[in-house]
Amino acid sequence: MRKIISSSILLACASFTLPAAASGCGKVTIADMNWASATVVANVDRFILEHGFGCDAELVPGDTMPTGAAMIEKGQPDIAPEFWSNSMRDALDKGVAEGRIRYAGTTLTDGGEEGFWVPAYMVEKDPSLATIEGIKANAKLFKHPEDPDKSGFMGCPAGWNCQISTSQLFTALDLESVGFELLDPGSGAGLSGSIAKAYEREEAWLGYYWAPTAVLGKYKMVKVDFGTGIDKQEFLNCTTQIDCLTPKVTMYPPSAVDSVVTEEFAQRAPEIVKYLEGREYTNEQMNGLLAWIEEEQADGDYIVEHFLTDYESTWTTWVDAPTAAKIKKALAEL
């Protein structure tokens, strides 16, 4: 879905200036989606909108499908600050075409990132292990947990969407021919736990994972290069389709992660839309934040205080100087 990232890391986006809000933007509802990175973004947005722009900002529970449908059909909540848009792209695009919602900038500059990964300490010893050819040539390094005659590849838990793509790519890469067996970790906790166990023992590990996640913030991993680049049509038409019998090799395309707002809110608060259009996080930043949150068991204002303090050089590019001063004043009073 990478220990704590320093505040010297900057966003991969240009600095710009926004006009200070003169009279606030009224009541704003922000969807706090039920995963960790979305909670970070929602809490930071709430604080900045409240203290920098004078909004009456409120977090409301959210999830991808219910939130998207409610914004399109009922005009609420006003903002979904981290929307993985590909999960309901057709409905969102229809909502935009009908003038009900709009996209308001990219939340994660790198998009959602998926791939097959190996621990960095393996690549440091043998750089060829950053490639699928190097993996296949050294398959015996990746010991199967139950069968010494086989190699183990940790797949995606049964029932997850990524189980299909992982299985199809395992087939397309012909990993079985060099001794690999596709393993089911049983759960998300089982998958992350297998990485943690390998890292603690500095053992070989190969499998599927994604970013941004606390796991990739805590454990340095390298994404394996298949040597093919991205074939988006192949990925959509075959890699992700369980009934496709002839999968070809492609790297995972990044998943679009956007801010979505209702059109009514966009018309009412254009200065907030402009803020959202310039507010971006890199996956490296978010992975570090998630690792810190997990380690500290942090939530709410504690997350906001850490981000605004340690990432000042990032968020101050999102607003103008007077707005930044208001936010810093509120931060000092926490």
Is 60 exceeded by the pLDDT of residue 23?
no
My answer on whether omega of the bond before 66 falls inside 30° of 0, hence cis, is no
Work out the pLDDT band at 334, boundaries 50, 70, 90. Answer: confident
Please indicate whether residue 4 or residue 108 has the higher confidence score (pLDDT).
108
pTM reported for the whole predicted model:
0.82
| Average confidence (pLDDT) over 65-90 | 95
First-residue to last-residue Cα distance in the chain? 31
Check residue 203 and give its pLDDT.
97
Check residue 86 and give its pLDDT.
84
Check residue 24 and give its pLDDT.
67
Is 70 exceeded by the pLDDT of residue 288?
yes
Is 60 exceeded by the pLDDT of residue 281?
yes
Contact 45, 319 (CB under 8 A): no
pLDDT tens, position by position, 36-74: 999 999 999 999 999 999 999 999 999 999 999 999 999
Whole-angstrom Cα distance, residue 120 to residue 138? 16
Average pLDDT, the chain: 92
Is 70 exceeded by the pLDDT of residue 128?
yes
